[in-house]
Amino acid sequence: MKLVRFGPAGQEKPGLLDASGTIRDLSQHTADFAGETISLGALDRLRAIDPQSLPTVAADTRLGAPLARIGHYLAIGLNYADHAAEAGMPIPAEPIVFSKAPSCLSGPSDNVVLPKGSEKADWEVELAAVVGARMWQVSEADALAHVAGYAVANDVSERKWQIEGTGQWIKGKSAPTFGPLGPWLVTPDEIADPQALDMFLDLNGNRMQTGNTATMIFSVARCLSFLSTMMVLEPGDVVVTGTPPGVGMGRKPQVFLKPGDEMRLGIEGLGEQRQKVVAEQARA
């Protein structure tokens, strides 16, 4: 299944994308997609519904993030060897873990808003894995059986806030709109191998990132298992698994996002995102 949330920001309804690419309204069958409503059992119940029995939704309807809210929004840093090299950092011995504030979540085509004081905003196309069953000290071999689905993520980052001060990377990862997710949440039965997906990101029509999840240092299964040795993961938690090379910080000269820029990014089988970059409006 390809699950979506559609409608105006803050008023989204749950839905799915049928085999023809038509959005279908699931709001009579589930309140929304978050927590237990995105659990493996809940997905099995939705899978039993005939999509043709559901109301259709206009094709031009806005898509929000495929999750209404996130518990943990966890991320793996420097998980592609060539990205670590462009960052001038050694290959990590174990997954580097940081987090994003759940409030950064936004839709796949919503504007990315540069907050006041932002000087070095950057892009990162990433594969997101959404947890569908409670995970506590789960083996690597069993980890993928706990996944509700996969999605495209843009780990937007303010590099000055991330690395030029003290404290944790979360500071540069968490502004509102710094977590575009979607367009869809694709259940694992439609993704034969999460470690064999092409990915890309364009900035203003120019290819910046090209990669494949096959070149991850730590697989999706390894990342999920590793996280579960130290914390409980619950349905609806999101783990973004690293970015291939080509980020703005790694370029010579460096390139950072500015108002008017447009990003297009995607992952094989998971759809595409498009975002315009805008400046935060002054507060009255």
Name the nearest CA neighbour of 277 among 60, 159, 115, 126.
115
Residue 153 has pLDDT above 50, yes or no: yes
| Domains detected in the chain | 67-279 (3.90.850.10)
Cα 66 to chain centroid distance, Å, stands at: 10
Name the nearest CA neighbour of 151 among 64, 62, 262.
64
Assign 29 to helix, strand or coil. Answer: coil
Residue 190 has pLDDT above 80, yes or no: yes
3-state helix, strand, coil in the chain (%, to 5): 20, 30, 50
Please compute Rg for the chain using Cα positions: 18
Higher pLDDT, 136 or 78: 136
Q: What is the pLDDT of residues 107-124, one digit of tens each?
A: 999 999 999 999 999 999
Cα atoms found within 13 Å of the Cα of residue 272, Cβ hemisphere only: 8
Cα 43 to Cα 3, 27, 32, 196, 224: the distances in Å are 10, 14, 12, 24, 20
Give 31: exposed, middle or buried? Use CB within 10 Å, 0-12, 13-18, 19+.
Answer: exposed
- How far apart (Å, rounded) are the C-alpha atoms in residues 132 and 188? 11
The two structure tokens encoding residue 212: 């494949």
The pLDDT of residue 282 = 58
Residue that is written with structure tokens 């937007």 in the block: 156
The model's pTM is 0.96
- How far apart (Å, rounded) are the C-alpha atoms in residues 55 and 23? 9
Q: What is the mean pLDDT of the chain?
A: 96
The pLDDT of residue 48 = 97
Q: Is the dihedral of CA 210, 131, 218, 197 positive or negative?
A: negative
Residue 192 has pLDDT above 50, yes or no: yes
The two structure tokens encoding residue 175: 């502004």
- pLDDT band of 284, cuts 50, 70, 90: very low
- How far apart (Å, rounded) are the C-alpha atoms in residues 35 and 237? 8
Q: Cβ atoms within 10 A of the Cβ of 96, count?
A: 17
Choice among 30-44, 46-60, 85-99, 233-247 with the minimum mean pLDDT = 85-99
